[in-house]
């Protein structure tokens, strides 16, 4: 059942009112996301994910790939660890109403091709097929339209003269601080959402540590790289060749404590090691506190 909006809630999230004093004070000490960034690197062995990708393609999910597996695992993790889907705005902590993932894409892999942003809204109960369908729909629209909503908004701002443009961005920050940013801008802004993800795999390079934007409220940035091979000893003492994908995570530590972040990462690891569980919705969706 949807919660009734109360005074202090935003269009994209509800204000949390039962936090500990530490959680409510920390955004006033660490004022911006750049003050509160934590950096983490991890990896996962891809045998199970590769098998799952092959299976999904056999079932007709064209171009299903590791990106969809990672997105599916992240969405499922948030359904069980909702505190990682919080954000900071106006130095207050909010629980996001939905799961919004942003990604920069190129319509063509050319050096002179500019990026555009796709913004995909997921539900906590989504299966891997749901995640695939929602993401592919957003990608298809981005590749079909010569100019999507993000491009159109950026073009309008670009026409504003330099000094006035600086004032415009300041005004947008002010409106966002007081939860007054128009819904239309929230829907297209790549700086507002649950997570930003980028793939270095298509470029054939390792993942970078990408900073969090001080504008907006995205609390997590994930980058993953190309597959790499490693030779390791198996349990029988023989050398085995295994494939890994490295990924990096930059988080805003103000939304929840390190123990909770770690439990979310462990759950995501489990899902990447056994992605077949993503074929079914979760048994229950865990709600954040009030």
20-55 pLDDT, tens digit per residue, is 999 999 999 999 999 999 999 999 999 999 999 999
Task: Please give the pLDDT value at position 138.
Answer: 92
- Range with the poorest average pLDDT among 9-23, 101-115, 157-171: 101-115
Fold of 13-143+191-273: Chloramphenicol Acetyltransferase (3.30.559)
Task: Give the model confidence (pLDDT) of 234-283 as tens digits.
Answer: 888 888 899 999 999 999 999 999 999 999 999 999 999 999 999 999 99
Task: Please give the pLDDT value at position 232.
Answer: 86
Task: Please give the pLDDT value at position 157.
Answer: 84
| pTM confidence score | 0.93
Task: Please give the pLDDT value at position 111.
Answer: 59
Q: What is the mean pLDDT of residues 84-110?
A: 90
| Euclidean distance between CA atoms 204 and 226, whole angstroms | 5
Contacts of residue 96, defined as CB under 8 A and 6 or more positions apart, other chains included, come to 12, 13, 85, 86, 87, 194
Task: Match 């199970």 to its residue by tokens.
Answer: 48
CA Rg value for the chain: 20
Task: Please give the pLDDT value at position 189.
Answer: 93
């Amino acid at each position: 059942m949807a919660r009734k909006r109360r005074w202090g809630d935003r269009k994209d999230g509800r204000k949390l009112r039962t936090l500990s004093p530490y959680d409510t004070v920390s955004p006033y000490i660490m004022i911006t996301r750049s003050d509160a960034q934590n950096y983490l690197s991890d990896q996962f062995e891809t045998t199970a994910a590769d098998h799952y990708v092959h299976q999904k393609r056999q079932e007709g999910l064209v171009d299903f790939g590791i990106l969809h597996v990672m997105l599916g695992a992240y969405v499922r993790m948030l359904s069980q660890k909702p505190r990682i889907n919080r954000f900071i705005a106006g130095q207050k902590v909010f629980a996001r109403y939905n799961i919004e993932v942003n990604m920069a894409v190129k319509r063509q892999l050319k050096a002179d091709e500019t990026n555009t942003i796709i913004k995909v809204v997921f539900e906590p109960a989504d299966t891997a097929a749901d995640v695939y369908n929602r993401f592919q729909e957003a990608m298809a629209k981005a590749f079909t339209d010569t100019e999507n909503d993000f491009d159109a908004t950026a073009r309008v701002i670009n026409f504003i003269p330099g000094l006035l443009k600086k004032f415009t961005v300041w005004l947008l920050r002010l409106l966002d601080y007081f939860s007054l940013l128009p819904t239309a801008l929230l829907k297209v802004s790549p700086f507002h959402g649950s997570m930003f993800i980028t793939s270095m795999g298509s470029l054939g390079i390792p993942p970078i540590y990408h900073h969090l934007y001080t504008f907006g409220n995205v609390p997590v940035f994930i980058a993953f790289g190309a597959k790499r091979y490693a030779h390791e000893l198996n349990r029988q003492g023989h050398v085995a060749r295994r494939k890994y994908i490295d990924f990096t995570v930059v988080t805003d530590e103000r939304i929840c404590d390190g123990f909770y972040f770690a439990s979310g990462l462990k759950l995501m690891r489990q899902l990447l090691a056994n992605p077949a569980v993503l074929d079914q919705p979760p048994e229950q969706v865990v709600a954040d506190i009030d």
